[in-house]
């Protein structure tokens, strides 16, 4: 996730906030300061409402962090590598660099977050009960308690990618003894949950409160989409397991020299090639990007002689370079930009390339080999 603000680190795990989390924090403070607190405990000055709203908003964001920290800490204690914790528009997100190796580890890691939220709900409930009233502080504690209760319960809903979906996955994995079967069942549950939330959200948009209705529908859409996406990635990872990049790549591809003009490239290379995309290389042989048939077709014929190939190469980041012996699963780690996924370099020579068509073929073949059932 880009556009994030570093907040520091918790137990060695970097913590960041996406700009959308700052927007949500501001929205919460405004709602508390102008509506929630003045309605719950009237009679204070506006400055006092704002002060308590700001503190409560900050504590709420902190409670989101505690939820994520619980996931991250338990995962690390069970020997899993944790990438980072990010706060964003839908709360927090803990990026795991590897998957749990047993149902027990997955269960503990997934349940830790909601349990932390429910714990915070209990503590703030005590504060609400015992603080003197009618006080602003007690009311703020009550609000924090309610929000954390909702957060804990919502996250326990049984559908991937929510924590409850992971709990469900762990239980099914333990019961079936088959992680792939549990993947499909948890993804199906996630899609059903997402669809249900969308329907409830849309109904409530018209019947009750449009803002929370739309919010619920958006959450539902996100859950359904992520459940589907996660399953696709898991199936792809399983399909590429054990394969090397050399087994997936197009060997010795035709290249597009950066210094050549488009006319020469078309006549000398493209028209005699079976490729639809060509790695662009410099004089030293380094790959700097790619050109596709579509890019070349966009150059008007009268300008082909005066346009160099390098002028057509647009790269947002350097071309991915892998070695023939690298694991093919590495190809899934970054989303492809355009058709060329990676070039394969051995001893500084470009020995192959992997296109999205190569990757799709490899996945299709592996499904045929294993006869896996991928219906979702
Ligand atoms: Zn969580």
- At 107 the pLDDT is 93
Of 187-191, 214-218, 314-318, 323-327, the one with minimum mean pLDDT is 314-318
284's tokens? 């030293």
| pLDDT range class, residue 304, cuts 50, 70, 90 | very high
Q: Tell me what the mean pLDDT of segment 332-346 comes to.
A: 80
Asked if residue 116 has pLDDT above 90, the reply is yes
Ligand 1 centroid to residue 92 C-alpha, Å: 7
Alpha-carbon Rg of the chain, whole angstroms?
26
pLDDT tens-digit series, residues 161-179: 789 989 999 999 999 888 8
Please state, as a whole number, how many other Cβ atoms lie within 10 Å of the Cβ of residue 226.
Answer: 19
Phi, psi of 166 (to 5 degrees): -75, -35
Ligand 1 centroid to residue 151 C-alpha, Å: 9
- DSSP string spanning 317-357? SPPPEE-TTSBGGGGGSS---SSEEEEEEETTEEEEEEEHH
Ligand 1 centroid to residue 89 C-alpha, Å: 14
Residue 19: helix, strand or coil by DSSP? helix
pLDDT tens-digit series, residues 14-26: 888 888 888 888 9
Q: Is 346 annotated as a binding residue?
A: no
Residue 127: helix, strand or coil by DSSP? helix
More confident residue, 7 or 112: 112
Q: Are 136 and 127 in contact (CB under 8 A)?
A: no
Q: Is 67 annotated as a binding residue?
A: yes
Ligand 1 centroid to residue 204 C-alpha, Å: 25
pLDDT tens-digit series, residues 178-204: 888 888 888 888 889 999 999 999 988
Asked if residue 118 has pLDDT above 90, the reply is yes
Please state, in angstroms and rounded to a whole number, the distance separating the CA atoms of residues 282 and 305: 19
Ligand 1 centroid to residue 203 C-alpha, Å: 27
- At 314 the pLDDT is 64
Active site residues: 68
Q: Are 159 and 191 in contact (CB under 8 A)?
A: yes
| pLDDT range class, residue 376, cuts 50, 70, 90 | very low
Ligand 1 centroid to residue 164 C-alpha, Å: 9
Q: Is 163 annotated as a binding residue?
A: yes
pLDDT tens-digit series, residues 54-98: 999 999 999 998 999 899 899 888 888 888 888 877 677 787 777
Long-range interactions of 372-375: CB distance < 8 A, separation 24+:
372/180, 372/235, 372/238, 372/239, 374/184, 374/235, 375/184
Q: CB under 8 Å to 188, separation ≥6 — which residues?
A: 227, 376
Q: How many CA within 13 A on the CB side of residue 120?
A: 28
| pLDDT range class, residue 260, cuts 50, 70, 90 | very high
């Amino acid at each position: 996730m880009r556009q994030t603000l570093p907040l520091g680190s918790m137990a060695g795990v970097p913590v960041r906030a996406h700009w959308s989390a700052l927007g949500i924090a501001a929205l919460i403070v405004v709602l508390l300061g102008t509506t929630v607190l003045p309605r719950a405990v009237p009679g204070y000055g506006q400055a006092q409402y704002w002060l308590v709203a700001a503190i409560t908003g900050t504590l709420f964001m902190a409670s989101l962090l505690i939820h994520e920290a619980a996931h991250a800490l338990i995962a690390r204690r069970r020997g899993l590598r944790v990438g980072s914790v990010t706060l964003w528009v839908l709360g927090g997100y803990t990026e795991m660099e590897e998957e749990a190796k047993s149902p027990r580890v997955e269960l503990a890691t997934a349940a830790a977050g909601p349990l932390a939220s429910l714990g915070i709900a209990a503590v703030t409930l005590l504060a609400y009960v015992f603080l003197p009233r009618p006080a602003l502080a007690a009311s703020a504690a009550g609000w924090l308690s309610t929000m954390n209760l909702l957060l804990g319960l919502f996250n326990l809903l049984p559908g991937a990618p929510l924590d409850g979906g992971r709990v469900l996955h762990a239980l099914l994995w333990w019961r079936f003894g088959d992680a792939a079967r549990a993947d499909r069942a948890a993804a199906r549950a996630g899609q059903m949950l997402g669809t249900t939330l969308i329907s409830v959200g849309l109904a409530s948009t018209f019947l009750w409160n449009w803002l929370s209705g739309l919010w619920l529908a958006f959450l539902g859409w996100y859950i359904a989409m992520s459940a589907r996406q996660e399953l696709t990635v898991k199936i792809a990872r399983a399909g590429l397991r054990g394969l090397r990049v050399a087994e997936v790549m197009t060997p010795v591809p035709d290249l597009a020299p950066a210094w050549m003009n488009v006319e020469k490239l078309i006549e000398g290379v493209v028209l005699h090639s079976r490729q639809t995309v060509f790695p662009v290389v410099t004089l030293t042989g380094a790959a700097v990007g790619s050109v596709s048939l579509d890019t070349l077709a966009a150059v008007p014929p009268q300008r082909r002689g005066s346009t160099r190939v390098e002028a057509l190469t647009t790269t947002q980041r350097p071309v991915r370079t892998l070695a023939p012996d690298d694991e093919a699963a590495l190809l899934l780690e970054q989303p492809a930009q355009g058709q060329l996924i990676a070039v394969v370099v051995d001893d500084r020579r470009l020995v192959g390339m992997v296109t999205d068509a190569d990757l799709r073929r490899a996945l299709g073949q592996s499904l045929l080999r294993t006869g896996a059932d991928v219906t979702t």
